Structure 1
Amino acid sequence: MKNKLKALFMSLLLVASVLILSLASAKTVNADENIPENVNITVHKRVFKDGNLPGDKPNTGDLMPDFGGEALPNVGFTVYDITEEYIKKLAETKDAQTATDAMVNKYTDAKPATVAAEQKLTDKNGDVTFEGLATKVDDKFKTYIVLETKSPSAITTKSAPMVLTMPMYAYDDKGEVTSKVLENIHVYPKNAENEDSYEGKLTKELLDDTVHHHTNAWGVNAIDDMILSPRVGRLLQYKVTYNVPATTIFDADNGLTIVDDPGIGIVLPEKVAKDANGKAVDTIVDSLNSNAQVANVVATYNGKTVDAEVKHHEDKQQGGNSYFEMKITGEQNADLAGETLEITYYAYLAKTEASMDDPVDNKVTVTADTTKDDQTSTEGETTRVTTPFALRAAIVLEKTAEKPLAVGGYNFQKIDAQSGKALVGAKFVVFDTETDNPKQSGYVKFNKSANGRNDLKWVKDSSDATVYTSDKNGRIKLDYLPYGDYKLVEIEAPTGYAKGEALDFKVAKDTYQKTENAPIEVKNAKKGLLPSTGGYGIYIFLVIGLALMGGAYVWFRRVRKNDNV
């Protein structure tokens, strides 16, 4: 009997053990069944202006419609698998937060080796979803890091890396973790936009430190402005930089339109000649005489050429193509959204009345077709017009062109030194005393191409220089000269006159107009006449001489008569 009870007890103990193990196993299975095999991660990209970036605002893992900020499209995110590296760091630190922080620090400016999901761009609502990411492999739960791998050029602070270790549990509004396992995970990375580098920002600058020009500060309409006074026909390189809004739509009918219209006085040629280093030759006449002409206007971003359509428009007042219109459309340009567009081209100041002492601004306008209506940027006074985030339909940026261009001149009148009569036919050359090229002297010479384009150069010998001849009114008109210091050198005087000495003069703003009304006199004296003393001059000496000769003759006759007696 005792043995039977003992056997029964052992049997019950064995059954109990099996039941306990079964229950434990059933609990584990039930827990695994609550964890999905795959999850979806949705990134909701938000941008905040400087000073308004929220601090440690936690992600709950669920949808957060009141998170704040503005949706930012065309931002690229990539998901990387860092499971093995995270587990190793966790074993070292024995703390999940420390291991997570280590991954964030490591990959803030670097990228892991294993890609779990290739880069995708956020849509017009600032959202992008990565579907079907595995929660575990074998007996290891996955750890992913989501990195911002393409940021808009206007963004100054890229969003921090996001480490997600499976399984992910939702948080409540108090920041406490719940027992809810997430199958659809929502994260809200934050960016900051700098007021000095914002979407739609447009700048225009002169790249060349132009050789052989004079730059002076002059008062323009009572405003101190820096005027660039270049040689006529000298090719100057400009660069337009535009922070393309991330909201820009690129399809068959939408994208960017850029118009650069400098107005009368500045010409933007369709083609220019460039050397082996890609730099344009010196002047437009040199360019027209070259066989190495290429497209003038070039658009790039991140070192890549943009697929753009460029049309040049003719301004008949300048005798040629003077401004361009560029259209960048099509899905092939979609990557340009949020990037910095750079447009470089050459222009030159033409020989037109409009450029004489009237600084010519170089104007550029950019219009972007966006998900928030058109965003237009124009050149002019710097102004940014915005409305609140929820109401904003456009951004308008205006910026003054850098260094308007202008040239000037001077007027002289050739006259007789004694009578003041105007003298025709006096010939002069102009020497520029501010030239700094040791290979050349500074004699001014205007060249002309077959189609009438002009440029200004300096030559070494006065015999090669442009000759200015006084007209019937004795006028010598010197125009289209860069502001600066010169000498007027007479190389041939009118018939019967002696050449005068070289005369120093300074071309400045409005000196042409002022001297046109009151030209500076250049006097010439006749050859062969001594200057008058104000008395009888030479004639009194002639009379005295004749008188002396007559007296001597009379005295001689009288002496001879006396001798004969």
Structure 2
Amino acid sequence: MDSNSLKTKTSKLLVIGVAVLALLGALLGLSLQNNSSKVHADNTTPSSTVDITVHKLQYTGTAPSIDNDGSELSLPSTVSAYDPSKYGDVGFTVYDITSGVSSKYSTDGLTNGDISEIVENASTYETDANKVANQKDVGTDGTVTFSDLPNYSSSQNHHVYLIAETKSSKLIKTTAQPMVIVTPMTNSTGDGYLSTVNVYPKNEIQTLSFTLTKQAEKNGQSAAALAGAKFLLYKGTPGSGTQVTNSDGSEVELTTDDNGKIKATNLTVGSYYFVEEASDDVSTDGSAGDGYLLGKDALNDANNKLTFTIGSDGNVTPTDQTYINYQKPASTKTVTNGSSTDNSFDQGATVKYQATITAPNNISDYTEFNWVDTPGTGLKYSSDTAFTLTYGDSVDGTQTALTKSTDYNLTYDTDNKTYKIDFLDSSNQLLNSSLAGKVVTISYSMALDPTTAKVATDIDNNYNLNWNNGTGKNTNTGKATVYTYGAQFIKKSAGILGTGTGNSALSGAEFVVRNSNSEYLKQISDGTSNWVSSQDDATVFTSGTDGTFSVEGLAKGAYSLKEIKAPTGYQLRTSDLSFTVDESSNSKTIEVDDNAKGLLSTGSQWLMLIIALVIVIGTTLGVKEYRKARKVNA
């Protein structure tokens, strides 16, 4: 081929190349200028190879217009270099389709229709046989360069390349159209050839979202949506991530709706995790709302499980997530015998207790779960104290027995005089998984201690339910209170003629106490109160020098006091004195006087003597006055 022939054909090829790029520009929103008429081919020969640099651009909204002539451009403010760290990996592959389109190629190059057909059927050209450059990903600056592609030779004076976006991310709304480039290509001034052809495919980017569903489970019930729960969103590794904020730097706090859902939006590539905050219904100790607890899986630490990832391909894993808050364990303690009004007992009596524990549905996640019984002053364990444990759906429902050392461990602390029931083993593993959501009933008994139990004073049996759901140790505290009561008395004389005037305290009077069943009170040496049928076995209460005596260690109720020995010089009462024992009876004194029915009823001999003497003296004085009166009249 002579030089004139080369000049003519090269010029035409350059025209064709620019024309194709002009069409490509229309397809991609680019504008390319044809400057081939200015090339002086006799002074310049195309290089044998060429580089093609793809400048991946991103935008939102309306696609910007870019005039592209193959040279490197300054970008308008409406676009920016593609950021794969936010929007995912994008890769391009180069195919040499020169031979595949040779039938379409003429001395005038490729027509616009030819190029449209190539683009529409790009997949037929994207074969391994045509591939001249393997897929390469766009770098952090948004570009990728394919170097040393065949450009020009004496045997092949043009090349047609198809550049396809063969790797994309879901953060891109649509992939870029395949690009058709014909080389060699003249520079913008038309006086030479480009060693690097620059192309600027544009993609509209988008952000993704993630939905978290929040539910709550009451003990023994199924989960239901929980509205009003609050979360923060972090990006990075759980425990060391960076909190996601609004564009103004303010905190992004997500609150679940009536369906228990929150949606995190404007998300790009990265790892994320939710951190739950305390709210009106959720707290660390169960004190808020219905007692739902913050869970260990939602804390801002390395154990956080509320994670999701948007990969470099834009895939979200997992696609959504559900998180459940569980209710705190509940506990009670009651007294099942004694006075029905206020749990009062006779001194030394056996007190029967029933404690309940409602185990949370997720008890298997707990690292501590034990119950400790602590008797207060005035209570003691008996030598044969035994704990009986059962569980069921409710206290009153069908019960299943629990076995010591299999389903729970029981220990006694001799220093603190407490019993501990532990439902976890030494490795903090739940001993019986069937307890989840069930009500555990603990039955046992204690006794009032006559040496320490005080009348009309709270006698408490305390308990602690210690638990830890992974967010920290918490304790439920409670108690059941019992009482024993008493009464204070004073023995007095009936006074002059039984009027109470001139009465005095009487010592030495003896009494026994009877209950409403006509049984007699017998108190043994330690103060324990028992009831016997024979008066001969009853405890005798004797009035002191000041006339007082007391009866203590009785349950609330109605009683009677029977005088069995009168003070010296007095007669026995002919009737019993009824009295009531209650919370106030020990703070007042009940007066026990002589019968006031008649002067002789109590055998007050000194009083009768004084009255007789007064009568005698009065009669004598009267006789004397009468005699004096008669002498005067005579």
User: How does the TM-score come out when normalised to structure 1?
Assistant: 0.45
Bigger-Rg structure (1/2) = 2
> Which protein has greater RCO, CA pairs closer than 8 Å, 6+ apart?
1
